[in-house]
Amino acid sequence: MKLLFVADPLDTFKIYKDSTFAMMREAARRGHTLWATQPVDLSWQRGGRVLARALPITLTGVSGHDEAPWYTTTGLETVLVAEFDAVLMRKDPPFDSEFFYATHLLSQAEREGAVVLNSPAALREHPEKLAILEFPQFISPTLVTRSAADVRAFHKEHGDIILKPLDGMGGMGIFRVRQDGLNLGSIVETLNGNGAQTIMVQKFIPEIVDGDKRVLVIGGKPVPHTLARIPQGGEVRGNLAAGGLGVARPITPREREIAGVIGPKLAARGLLLVGLDVIGDTLTEINVTSPTCFQEITEQSGFDVAKMFVDALEAEIAGDRSRAVVEGHDPF
């Protein structure tokens, strides 16, 4: 297969832990051809099709913390996005306006015959904080609002709460307010801009001390090990980007239950890879942009997450080809 990865600049990859790199390495091991581009290098003009200025890349075999180059390339080429067997949208958050515009260009590429995973439309329809609203049976008491008065009433009811922006990533902008309500007003003003921005408020889940667990779901099926991201020091956040300690653990029955309901539904919408965040028995977020933790889980558990992913990718492409033939046209 000829694969195009839409991602951050390659030279920013920390390959010892990067999940996109793990995907590339497994795909290359199977003989697939790798290309890489960035959202800024996507374009479209009337009368033509969606183009990408992209790098054909060959992996050098370097891994871990080695300083040697991990890829080689012959340089940028302008290519038709629809000519790839699959396009993997792996641009890291935040989901800002430019990310949004990139998904629309990729949706146009889909209309031209491209297979894009995760689906651009599904990315737009499943914002990572708000996607949990579809599954209230799995979440803690949660409020989405611009109203400071609503937040105060929620705090009065639940006492110990977490407040977060809807566009945050890596634990950015998360605050805990305890029973005493210290600094609640200031925090709300900071997060919601005096009513200009919608925020999320949730009842604090004390099981965070045991970790904020990332449950990876690939092709609708959960990976059999999770990564518990355990807060360190005085932190309330377990995110690895916020200094959390990642510990791989076997998936629990409750996590399987949650993944068993959510995974197949989201897979049917074109979300090949999803990262569920679970604290205790409670779902807190659904990550769809560029879920991570492949390498941490694999190194600690021995389960090859990248292999499971590329297996699912190959099956998805084979299925798409079969559907195209049945429908009487084969763009491949």
Query: What integer is the mean pLDDT of 239-247?
Result: 75
Q: Percent of the chain beyond pLDDT 70? A: 93
Question: What pLDDT shows up at residue 253?
Answer: 98
* Residue of higher predicted confidence among 100 and 320: 100
pLDDT in tens, 15-28: 999 999 999 999 99
Q: Are strands 273-279 and 245-250 parallel, antiparallel or unpaired?
A: unpaired
DSSP 75: -
Question: What pLDDT shows up at residue 55?
Answer: 98
Which residue ranges form the domains of the chain, and what is each CATH number? 2-124+317-326 (3.40.50.20), 141-204 (3.30.1490.20), 207-301 (3.30.470.20)
| 238: pLDDT strictly greater than 90 | no
Question: What pLDDT shows up at residue 3?
Answer: 98
| 233: pLDDT strictly greater than 70 | no
φ, ψ for residue 196 (rounded to 5)? -85, -20
Query: What integer is the mean pLDDT of 276-296?
Result: 96
The residues annotated with a catalytic role in the active site are 129, 164, 214, 229, 237, 277, 285, 287
| 73: pLDDT strictly greater than 90 | yes
- The confidence band for 332, taking pLDDT boundaries of 50, 70 and 90, is very low
| 331: pLDDT strictly greater than 60 | no
| 252: pLDDT strictly greater than 50 | yes
Alpha helices for 268-301 (secondary structure H): 294-301
Positions of E strands within the chain = 2-6, 33-37, 42-43, 51-59, 71-73, 77-80, 86-89, 116-117, 142-145, 161-165, 175-177, 199-203, 212-218, 221-222, 225-230, 245-250, 273-279, 282-287
- The confidence band for 194, taking pLDDT boundaries of 50, 70 and 90, is confident
| 328: pLDDT strictly greater than 60 | no
Q: What is the mean pLDDT of the chain?
A: 92
**Tokens standing for residue 148:** 């400071």
| 93: pLDDT strictly greater than 90 | no
Q: Are strands 212-218 and 142-145 parallel, antiparallel or unpaired?
A: unpaired
My answer on whether omega of the bond before 287 falls inside 30° of 0, hence cis, is no
Query: What integer is the mean pLDDT of 53-77?
Result: 93
DSSP 100: H
